[in-house]
Homo-oligomer: A and B are copies of this chain.
Amino acid sequence: MLNSGDSGVRTSDIERVKGLPLFADAAPETLRVATAGAHLQRFPANTMLLLEGDPVDFLYVLLDGQVELHGTWNDRETTLAILRPVSTFILAAVVLDAEALMSARTLDRCEILMIPGDAIRTAMRLDPRFAMAVSRDLAGCYRGLVRNIKNHKLRNSTERLANYLLQLRAADNSGGVVRLHHEKRILASLLGMTPENLSRAFAALQRHGVSVHGAVVTLGNISALEALAKPDPLIDNHAPRVGDIIADADAEIWSSEWYKTTGQAGETSKRHG
């Protein structure tokens, strides 16, 4: 049961979980069932939470710290996403009771609520509103990845960086000064380039008014930067981030999808979001 006392879960944490779009609409009873057996756990920085290929037994809810999701192949590694609180991750694997396709590693000290996968699947069966919320959440994730792929296949590295900076500005509602949330090395991997090349991409953006001092990036000429970046609502989600929870009920709603993939690497199966 998810209440203060058990497993060290604090009432304030419960409130934060309830604030997630995934749980906001669920019946109170469902929330109780779904979180029965949940426990809060603390991890040091640089800890592997999950290795790709592992069976996934829990839905993870990141309450504090940062988590990196990455994939590896043939001694190469790439960052697929970096999560900040409050975020859930690994929902798709939980729904399908399948093994993880990506590894998860803490970047900082982290506080994570772990909800048993069985409980989630049971809750979905009992509460259509919750099942609907899961669908909406997954649909949003799916669309996020579509954006990601378009970003990578259609833009070069400098364009990706420029759009990343503009998106950061929109998310944090910062004027012309933006703070990078992660090490440049990780940012490079997320943007699909080497650290060396990220440096050079920043250098290339100087002529568009961008200057860098450590993690602080000053966008001195937004319109010049936008002229280069050509941000597009069908690739870049400029939903503002409000407070510590997600933007809106669903950032995808804020802006505005699809379903099913044959051929290409993934799914031989025939569904396309």
Minimum CB–CB distance from A135 to chain B (whole Å) comes to 5
Interface size counted on chain A using CB atoms at 8 A: 116
Q: Is the interface of A mostly helix, strand, loop or mixed?
A: mixed
Q: How far is the CB of A131 from chain B (nearest CB, A)?
A: 4
Q: Report whether B261 and A148 are in contact in the complex, using a CB–CB cutoff of 8 Å.
A: yes
Please measure, in the bound complex, the distance between the C-alpha atom of A156 and the C-alpha atom of B256, giving whole angstroms. 33
Among B187, B240, B250, B273, point to the contact of A138 (Cβ < 8 A): B273
Known: A80-B149, A267-B147, A269-B237. A260 touches B88 (CB 8 A): yes
Q: A84-B262, A101-B258 are in contact. Are A141 and B91 (CB under 8 A)?
A: no
In the bound complex, residues from chain B placing their C-beta under 8 Å from that of A171 are 268
Q: Does the CB pair A261–B141 fall under 8 Å?
A: yes
Determine if A203 is an interface residue (Cβ-Cβ < 8 Å).
no
A264 close to B (CB within 8 Å): yes
Chain B residues near A232 (CB, 8 Å)? 73
Candidates B82, B140, B150, B264; contact of A81 at CB < 8 Å: B264
Residues of B near A261 (CB, < 8 A) are 80-81, 83, 141, 144-145, 148
The docked-state distance in angstroms from the alpha carbon of A171 to that of B270 is 12
Chain B residues closer than 8 Å to A230, beta-carbon distance: 73-74
B128→A127 contact, CB < 8 A: yes
Per-position 1/0 for A159-172, Cβ under 8 A of B: 01001100100110
Binding site for B on A (CB under 8 A): 21-22, 52-53, 56, 59, 69, 71-74, 76-78, 80-96, 98-102, 104, 124-129, 131-132, 134-155, 160, 163-164, 167, 170-171, 181-182, 187, 190-192, 230, 232-241, 245-247, 250-253, 255-273
**Closest 7 pairs (CB-CB, A-B):** A93-B257, A91-B259, A92-B257, A251-B269, A144-B266, A144-B267, A92-B273
